[in-house]
Amino acid sequence: MEQVQRLASICTLQDEVVPFSTFGVGKSRPTNNVTVLAPSIDSAAIDRTTSKEISSAGKWPGLLERVRGAAHYIREVEDRAQEQELRVQEILEQVQADMQEASAKVQDAEQRARDVQVHASKLIQAAEERANMAEKRAAVAEAWLIQISQTIETEFVIEPAVPKQTGTISK
């Protein structure tokens, strides 16, 4: 609030009528006058402001050096951030390449597994077919063996052997 009052006292405006030609706009004087608002001059306020500016003028080189230091620091931070961003981009690209390579390997392994499964299925089916054929041949052979056995038993009747009598004298 104190600063507002001080500024108000420095910048109090007063009306002053100045002819239009005073501004060098034209040679003929118009009938209208221009109202110029100008701050009133308070010499004590000017002296205080001037002495403050003079005493703070010694601070400008230090302030300028701090601004330069801050700007240098900001550039360094931006450079590091840019380097890190580039590194992150490189890592991201490498990860993407690794993922594509891994995906290709997985697809290749899956394809080989499908191929092995198809081949195994074919081998199993062929083995089952051979087993079925062997079972059929065994059944046919068994049927023939049964017929042969029955034929032998019916066609070749073997009577039990009777003891022959020889010319022996009996007493």
- pLDDT of residue 54 exceeding 70, the answer is no
Alpha helices in the chain (DSSP H): 2-10, 43-57, 60-155
- pLDDT of residue 13 exceeding 60, the answer is no
In 3D space, the residue among 43, 38, 42 whose CA is nearest the CA of residue 16 turns out to be: 38
For residues 22 and 47, is the Cβ–Cβ distance under 8 A?
Answer: no
pLDDT given at position 17 = 42
* Alpha-carbon gap, residue 37 to 15, rounded angstroms: 6
Give 94-113 pLDDT, tens digit per residue.
999 999 999 999 999 999 99
The DSSP symbol for 14 reads E
For residues 50 and 62, is the Cβ–Cβ distance under 8 A?
Answer: no
Q: Could you tell me the pTM of the whole model? A: 0.40
pLDDT band at residue 59 using 50, 70 and 90 as cut-offs: confident
**For 71, phi and psi rounded to 5 degrees?**
-65, -40
| Domain range summary for the chain, segments of one domain joined by + | 8-21+34-57
Rg (CA), the chain: 61
For residues 50 and 41, is the Cβ–Cβ distance under 8 A?
Answer: no
Q: Which amino acid is at 8?
A: A
For residues 42 and 11, is the Cβ–Cβ distance under 8 A?
Answer: no
Q: Which amino acid is at 39?
A: P
